[in-house]
Amino acid sequence: MLHFAHQSEENYLKALYKLEQRPVKKVNNIALAKTLELNPATVLEMVRKMSERGLLETLGDKTIQLTDNGRKKALQIVRRHRIWEVFLVDKLQYKWNEVHEIAEQLEHVESEDLIKRLEAYLGHPTVDPHGDPIPDEQGRIKKLKTQPLGTAPVKTRLTIRSLANTSDDFLRYLDKIGLSIGAKLEILEIEDFDGSLTVLFEKKRLTLSKEVAENLLTDA
């Protein structure tokens, strides 16, 4: 009768998927343990079980990898998480930096039908509030072709499509200066010295540090 039965497993799947998305794809026990904030012994044990269940496999060099089946399940969870995030922001007026924790809980509710209805209710969104794409029912995901702001030359007009960093700090900073997904910018100036750049945003000049620019993913 217990719901949320596989909550832990789902967290492992999501963490592995997340780690898999990084440029450096080697995922070992320690990395996974760190991500999940769990003891390596715990992770080792769970990895064994999930391996038996065919959700992941450990390679010769101890690298942990999702199987296709595991990845499919991971994507389902990512899908649920992102759809709930859209709901929280679009309908309940949460700010994008406030939704993560609640979505972490909602994503474990087991009902694909619920997610389908919710998706329809939200108008079939394609990205979550941070610009991350929402996988479809089959786990297919459209990778956005984005470039970090700052790779484009001066005078380019572009739109912020996604974020390379969704930490609370960064989200709050963006909130403060008014930037969000969909913001249209024009690059005015790039400072050779520190890589910072000045952009035109809603008719005002805005200076962004190199680090900020690297975390803003744009369509140009």
Binding region for a second copy (CB under 8 A): 1-4, 7-8, 37, 88, 91-94, 101-102, 104-106, 108-111, 114, 117-118, 121
Query: Which residues contact residue 67 at a Cβ distance below 8 angstroms, ignoring those fewer than 6 apart?
Result: 54, 55, 56, 57
For residue 41, give the H/E element and its range: helix 40-52
Which residue number, 9 or 20, has a Cβ lying nearer to DNA?
9
Sites for DNA among residues 5-64 (CB under 7 A):
5-9, 11, 28-30, 37-42, 44-46, 49, 58, 61-62
Residue 18 interacts with, from DNA, a second copy, none (CB under 5-8 Å by kind):
none
46 binds, among DNA, a second copy, none (CB under 5 to 8 A by kind): DNA
Looking at the Cβ atoms of 48 and 140, the one nearer to DNA is 48
Contact predicate 35/19, CB 8 Å: yes
The rounded distance, in Å, linking the Cα atoms of 170 and 143 is 22
Nearer Cβ to DNA (104/214): 104
Residue 127 pairs with which residues in a beta bridge?
Answer: 133
At closest approach, how far in Å is the CB of 181 from a second copy? 21
- Neighbouring residues of 10: CB distance < 8 A, sequence distance ≥ 6: 73, 77, 107, 108
CA proximity to 59, closest of 27, 90, 87? 27
Is 67 among the residues that bind DNA (CB under 7 A)? no
Site size toward DNA, by CB under 7 A: 24
In this structure, what are the phi and psi dihedrals at residue 201, rounded to the nearest 5 degrees? -135, 120
Provide, rounded to whole angstroms, the least separation between the CB of residue 20 and DNA: 16
**In angstroms, what is the minimal distance from the CB of 26 to a second copy?**
24
Distance (Å, whole) CA 147 – CA 150: 8
Write down the number of H helices and E strands in the chain. 8, 8
* Residue 41: contacted member of a second copy, DNA, none (CB under 5 to 8 Å, by partner type): DNA
Find the shortest distance in angstroms from Cβ 27 to a second copy. Answer: 19
CA Rg value for the chain? 19
The tokens describing 108, both together, are 């474990």
Give residues in contact with DNA (CB under 7 A): 1-2, 5-9, 11, 28-30, 37-42, 44-46, 49, 58, 61-62
